[in-house]
Amino acid sequence: MPALPDALGLFLELAAIPSPPGEERAVADRVLAYLDALGLEATEDEAGPRIGSTMGNIVVRIPPSSEGTAGVPIFLCAHLDTVRPTAAIEPVVEDGLVRNAQPTILGADNKAAVAVMLEASRRVLAEGREHAGLELVFTPKEETGLEGAHELDPAGLAARVGFVYDHAGPIGEIVAAAPSSTSIDAVFVGRAAHAGMHPEEGRSAIYAAARAIGDLRLGRIDPETTANVGEISGGTARNIVPDRCAVVAEARSHDDAKLAEVVQEMVDACTFAAALAECEVELEVEEQYRGYRFRPEDEVFRLAAAALSASGFEPRGIPAGGGADANVFNATGRPCANLANGMTRIHSADEHIAVADLEAMVDVTLNLVEAARHG
């Protein structure tokens, strides 16, 4: 087997390659080259054109180490996109931490997981480790709504349980509960007019949107539920009554009944505000992902806990406020746990990860393969 970079070296390579959602091709090609060097044949589906990405979902299967091997085949999943950077990415190692020397994201979310999964797979093969079957899945456009995972055909996976490393927290945390999320896109349509000469003839779409937003419950609504307006755009010029304004919002909750209630409130607020401003509103409400909950005795949680314990970490289940590709797999009937991997301050210019955590997650992954072998 040719000499390949370790987890740190590979992560530094991957992080330096920009891969905002939809533009993951260069990173995908690096991953494919690494897999090829391992003698593994990867497949790439046709999801790319459907979701506006330069890559599809990549899947590679490492068959069980011997015929009839007992245990639980598992899959590991990581996404290749990052949130969009605002400057060059120049990963550096300082005082045992990997940071970006430039004032933007590092991309540990999720390239730290990619590097760890590839290095662990290399060691499984190079060291001839016994295993019950291992599959690797790499997805595009996770950051924009788990789009790649939604397009993946789960029937193409042999493994029945999986793991992602996509939670920013100390190693040992297992996401035992994740929320459901619904997106609300509202386009307010009014009537344009000259703002100085004939304002009474206009119907302001921005006013309608502002009135709607002012009536919304936003932020943390209760311990299980949040809502947010993330984008507003509209208008054409300072002196024109705006005839169009778009609002992009979302709501999340661990309780589906609460989520439905908040979403209906948001829809009602938009409808009422539009009528008040004598405007129309076009609404699109869509489930982004469905929540899940694990018990300690569930197989996927038990395997994760065993691997973490074997690596010297105390496993602990936690609730999370965000979604990951794990949500999609769980919704399709394949239990998938999201494990914290030490990423810190993701999506920010202070994003970083410890070299020790990269190395530790390789050990966790190898122990996960071992735990799955014993079932």
Tokens of 29: 């090609």
Structural domain that includes position 112: 7-178+291-374
pLDDT at residue number 68: 64
Residue with tokens 């970006």: 100
Question: Measuring CA to CA, which residue among 142, 78, 75 is closest to residue 288?
Answer: 142
112-126 pLDDT, tens digit per residue, is 999 999 999 999 999
pLDDT at residue number 1: 57
For the chain, where are the alpha helices, taking DSSP H only? Answer: 7-15, 25-37, 47-51, 108-126, 147-151, 205-214, 256-276, 299-310, 325-331, 355-374
Q: Which amino acid appears at position 193 of this protein?
A: A
Choose one of 271, 289, 307: the last residue of a domain.
289
CB 179 within 8 A of CB 227: no
pTM of the entire structure? 0.91
CA distance linking residue 329 with residue 336, whole number of Å: 6
Residue with tokens 């030490």: 342
CA distance linking residue 281 with residue 37, whole number of Å: 54
Question: Measuring CA to CA, which residue among 228, 242, 77, 268 is closest to residue 162?
Answer: 77
pLDDT in tens, the chain (375 residues): 567 889 999 999 999 999 999 999 999 999 999 999 999 999 999 999 999 999 999 999 999 988 766 799 999 999 999 999 878 899 999 999 999 999 999 999 999 999 999 999 999 999 999 999 999 999 999 999 999 999 999 889 999 999 999 999 999 999 999 999 999 999 999 999 999 999 999 999 999 999 999 999 999 999 999 999 999 999 999 999 999 999 999 999 999 999 999 999 999 999 999 999 999 999 999 999 999 999 999 999 999 999 999 999 999 999 999 999 999 999 999 999 999 999 999 999 999 999 999 999 999 999 999 999 998
- 3-state SS record for 270-299: HHHHHHHCCCEEEEEEEEEECCEECCCCCH
Choose one of 250, 268, 289: the last residue of a domain.
289
200 and 167 belong to one structural domain = no
Q: Is residue 223 part of a domain?
A: yes
Distances (CA, A) of 185 to 219, 251, 286: 17, 11, 9
Choose one of 257, 274, 289: the last residue of a domain.
289
246 and 302 belong to one structural domain = no
Looking up residue 151, the CATH number of its domain turns out to be: 3.40.630.10
pLDDT at residue number 239: 97
Q: Which residues contact 334 (CB under 8 A, 6 or more apart)?
A: 75, 154, 157, 159, 160, 161, 162
pLDDT at residue number 375: 81
CB 364 within 8 A of CB 339: yes
11 and 81 belong to one structural domain = yes
pLDDT at residue number 87: 82
Residue with tokens 């993946």: 152
22 and 169 belong to one structural domain = yes
Query: C-alpha angle with apex 234: 231 to 237, nearest 5 degrees?
Result: 140
DSSP 40: P
Q: Check whether the bond before 110 is cis (ω within 30° of 0).
A: yes
Question: Which of 23, 81, 109, 351 is flagged as catalytic?
Answer: 81
CA distance linking residue 63 with residue 71, whole number of Å: 13
130 and 260 belong to one structural domain = no
337 and 218 belong to one structural domain = no
Q: How many helices (DSSP H) and strands (DSSP E) are in the chain?
A: 10, 19
pLDDT at residue number 3: 73
CA distance linking residue 115 with residue 109, whole number of Å: 11
Decide if 142 is catalytic: yes
Question: Measuring CA to CA, which residue among 311, 326, 358, 324 is closest to residue 162?
Answer: 326
User: Count of alpha carbons within 13 Å of 194, Cβ hemisphere only?
Assistant: 3
198 CA to centre of own chain: 48
254 and 187 belong to one structural domain = yes
Question: Which of 24, 109, 135, 142 is flagged as catalytic?
Answer: 142
Strand partners, 280: 189
DSSP 37: H
In this structure, the dihedral spanned by the alpha carbons of residues 82, 43, 163 and 94, taken in order and rounded to 10 degrees, is: -40
